Structure formats: C-alpha cells, structure tokens
Structure 1
C-alpha cells in the first residue's frame, strides 16, 4: 500500500453556542507544519449555522450539511464522503471545541507510513473552564470529558478506542467498512458514545493484521466546560458509556469485544484506587480519598448502564454498515 499523500480534516458542529470554539479549531489548522489538503466543516441540521459558516469561513474550507440522520455519526459520515470525493487518502476528525497543536497533522499522518496502520488516535489534553478541574476527578476517567486518560499504551502502541476529538483513518478503509453506525454516537449534547470503538472493531477485522495506534505527540487541547466538571454529569456520562458499550457488544458478540474494558478495570482502576487511598492515608488529603471513591462510583455507574441496556436495549434501531461508494482501492486483506 503506498504511503498517504493527501489529508482532509473534518470538523463537525451542531450549535452556534460553540462558534468561538469552532473558529479556534479551524484557525489551528491554518498554522500546521503540514497543512491539510482540505478542511471540511459539517453542520448537523442547523440552517442558520450553515449559512453563517458558509459566508464566514476561508475559501479553502468546504462547508456542508449533514446529509444523513441528525447526530455525530452521520455528520462524520458526511465528512468522510466529502473527503473521499476530494480523493483524500487520510480523513482526520477534529472536534469543534478542540485546538490542534501546530504539529498535529504531521504527527497524526506519520504512522500511516506503516502499511498495517488503518487508524491513528491523537492525544487530547483537557483545558478546564472556570472553576477548573475538581480535586475529586481521577486521571483514569478523563475519557468522560473526551480527553486522553491514564492507562493508555506508550507512543505507537495499539489502541482499540481512538479519542473521538482527534483521530484519523485511511479514507478508503473507513469507506469500505461503511463509516460510523447511527445506532451509536451523540445527538446534540447527549452522553452516548462508542461509535469510535465500534468502527475500530470493524476496521481492524476487515484486513488481517491491521491496527490502530496511539500518537502521543499528536496533541490537541480539548475544552472542558463548567457543566462537564460536575459530579452529576460525570455519573450520567459513565452510565451513557455503559449503555453504549452494551450496544457495541450486541453488534460484536464474543469474549474479546470488551477485553480492553476488562483490563482497564482490573489493572488501571484497581491501581488508581490503591494509589489514591495511599496518598490520602500518607498525606491526609481529603481530595485523594474523594478520587478513590469516585473511581468506585464511576465504575458502578458504568456497570449499571451496561447491565440496564443489556436487559432493556435502547430503541435506536440497529443499522447494518455497508461499503460507501467512494471506496477506491483499499481491499479487505490488503493491509500488507
């Protein structure tokens, strides 16, 4: 497989309330050490926002409407189709409230020189709005606010869950896999997720030996608003993650589907609890005891969401991914 030569970056947006964030995200792509060939902004079913962005953004930015079902999954699929129409080799996804460091595109693209790499996860650093990061918030649960958490592998290591605010895929492979399923993913400000996990399972299954890797130096700075700093949001997001993981396990039955989660619980969360309790006992720090407690209740909320969804599945209909018509060249089994 030849190395990629043409990169498109997709930014999905759904509300004017994040317009300043979107402007900052787009501006960060104009100062890259490796400029993307194309920037695509997908507006998710908001006509006024579409009109505003069409008039405002630079001429080298393509602004399109989500042509599918409302929600992040089909917004990303719309961006994927636009990237494929532009003959992009690599399609990258940047959240509308994330700012890329100047080397982000270059360092996200570099791992694709290896023919077995079908996807890359960047590294998302939280930027906390006032009042700031709560003392009870564990590093291991930074995924709750869409950021990279403690327990991830070393740079270049294989991952199963790319961080949604900063990820990249071979456009042909993602098109062949059918893109993101609309059963999963956020609609507006909901707490659903796991569409990245589900598509990663399909991507790595369709070509023998293919992997998704972590690029720790490909950093973005992801905004964490004040409402996402509250314990009630933390617990709702954990429950939402559990429900979404249940949907993934229904799609991909088998003991291996949740292997990453089991290891995270047994290794990472157990270590986090022990370390926090040790810090609390050694230094008499109430925040450390609080972090240990939040690890436990966060895990419990996730399990409750998972079990509840297994017993009573959500009503969002199952969809069957099919290869998009723009897949041009990539073939299952051709990763080598």
Structure 2
C-alpha cells in the first residue's frame, strides 16, 4: 500500500555501538520491508563517527545523522525526529525486528485526531532459553510486553520507545524527549513514559496500544539473569521517583500503583496456587521473584527519595548561610 501524504511516516533508529551491527542490519531490513513504506529511514549514531561513516557507506538510501545533543538515547532520537518532515514519526531500537504490517497497523488509530501516539506489542527474542523463574508480569524488565497490558487495541497511559509512533506536531510541541533524562550507564530513567505523559497532558490527547503491531526485541543472555532483574528493578524504582519529581503535583503515578496493588499480588497468588497444585515448583520461584522485585524497586525508590531530601537540605542550608 502506498502511503498518502497524510499518512506519511519516517522511521528513526538510534544506535551507538558497532557491537550491535548485526542486529542493526536486521532492524533496517525490517524497516524497509513494511507494507506501508516509510517515506524516510533515519539512523542516528550516538557520538561514534567511525560507525556513522560505516552506516553511510553500507546502507544506501538511508539517512545517517550524528547525535547533535549530549550522549544518550533521548538526544539521539530527537536528532532524527527533528530532521523529519512527515506527519508521523516512528521509533525502533537497533535490536528489534518489526513485522511487515507493523507500520500499517499502528498508524490506524491516528484516524482519531485526539490520538497523539501509539505503541505496539513487543515479543522477546531470547538469546538463551527464557529463565523458568521469570514471571510474565516482570517481562517489562527486559523491554517486552508483559501480563497486565491490554490484549486488544486500547487506550493506554504510555508506550515504549522501542516500538512507538508519534504525531509529529504533538511531539514537537513538547520539545521531544527530555535530553539528559534516560538510560545511560547505570541510570534507568523512563524517558519514554515521561514523554508520553507530557504529550498527553499538553493537549488532552491520548495514546493507543496496538498489541498486534508487533516487533521482536532481542534479549541478550546477560539480561536473562536474576542479578540483572534485581538491578533493573532497583534502577526503575529510582527512575520513577525522579520522573515523579518532574510531574505536576496533582498528577499521580496511577498505573504504577495499580500494577503494585493488583497485578503483582495476583501474580504471587496464581503462581503459589500453581506450585501447590503440582504444576511445577518453578511457579514458587516466580512468586518469590515477584516479591524480590518489589523489594528491589522499593529500595531504589527509597534511595532516590533520600538522595532528593539530602539535596534539598543542602540547598536550603546554602541559602540560609548566604
């Protein structure tokens, strides 16, 4: 299907390391194979001139840019997005493979002018076999869709930048992703969630989740360990507190509270019942993993809260002494 000017979309793919060359090649191939052809595919390289030169040399017909902002995925994505001129901008990570109908299906909800953005289902492509102790409710920790998300096309508070399409006008109106706020090093700030909240708040629009507009997302072996999960949950706890500090005081993290109060307790109960019914003791491990994940996130949130209090106290003391 040839897109009309009103449904034209550009695809932005951020990348940073030649270690991901093979997966980047697959991502670009899947972007080129869409039934709804993209007007432009933009690869943005994060402060790696040698890699940028190689991408330019090896991928004819692909626009290659270098991150115009500080190192990090937020600036990388903004560089590509601000370059585009189409009504819609799609984002893919460089370790994903989009299904052929991904763009076509995920663009459909934009027929409603109130929709500011959409996201689709993310399926794990495990490098190794999925750990038995990993519960479905915690799959978000490896960047894929998890139990508790809608199973049909539905409104949703936020989606993930690995599989996201935005209405360009709404994206530009809020200045894009918040640079300096994202995943870099051991930091895990939810820059995509923060963007979604700002975009929907700015004009009263909303996001739609299209679970059948799927991509595969690689899950390296290093992310299949219990230690990684605990570190990820701890970082998520810190990141959520940081994000809450950027939000208006009357805007609560309702989705997170519902997840903690309903989704996770149900996961513990269901897995304990399954373990007690003889369906496999790995269910008991999954129940224990959920409890450990909650404690890790709470620990991270507590550390970040205390850090914020100390910082506020230090600033107040400096002002008082001046």
The TM-score with structure 1 as length reference comes to: 0.88
1:159 aligned residue: 156
Q: Distance in 2 between matches of 1:303 and 1:123?
A: 27
Q: Structure 1 residues 278 and 307, CA, compared in 2 at 3 Å: closer, same or farther?
A: same
Given that 1:67 and 1:74 are in contact with CA atoms closer than 8 Å, whether structure 2 keeps it comes out as: yes
For 1:1-336, list aligned pairs within 5 A: 4-59=6-61, 61-83=62-84, 87-130=85-128, 132-187=129-184, 190-208=186-204, 210-254=205-249, 256-283=251-278, 285-313=280-308
Q: Could you tell me whether the CA contact under 8 Å between 2:97 and 2:216 is conserved in 1?
A: yes
**Cα deviation code 1:268-303 (max 9, x no counterpart):** 111111111011000152210000000011111111
Deviation at 1:159, TM superposition (A): 1.5
**Residue aligned with 1:158, SS:** strand
SS state of the match for residue 73, structure 1?
Answer: helix
State how far apart, in whole Å, the 1-side matches of 2:268 and 2:143 are.
Answer: 21
For 1:64 and 1:77, the matched residues in 2 are separated by: 11
Deviation at 1:190, TM superposition (A): 3.8
Label 1:191 to 1:149 Cα distance change in 2 as closer, same or farther (>3 A).
farther
Deviations 1:168-209 (A, max 9, x none): 11111111101111232112x54513111111111011112x
Maintained 8 Å contact 2:155/2:206:
yes
CA contact (8 A) 2:183 2:190 kept: no
CA distance in 2, matches of 1:10, 1:51: 17
Is the deviation greater in 220-229 or in 282-291? 282-291
Moved more, 44-53 or 176-185: 176-185
Cα distance in 1 for residues equivalent to 2:232 and 2:250? 24
2 CA distance for matches of 1:227 and 1:11? 23
Identify unmatched segments of 5+ residues in structure 1.
Answer: 316-336
The structure with the larger Rg is: 2
Q: What does residue 323 of structure 1 align with?
A: none
Q: Which has the higher contact order (CA 8 A, sep 6+)?
A: 1
CA distance in 2, matches of 1:74, 1:233: 26
Please identify which structure carries the higher helix content.
2
SS at match of 1:184: coil
Matched residue SS, 1:312: helix
- Cα RMSD of the aligned pairs, angstroms, is 1.7
Q: Secondary structure at the match of 1:10?
A: strand
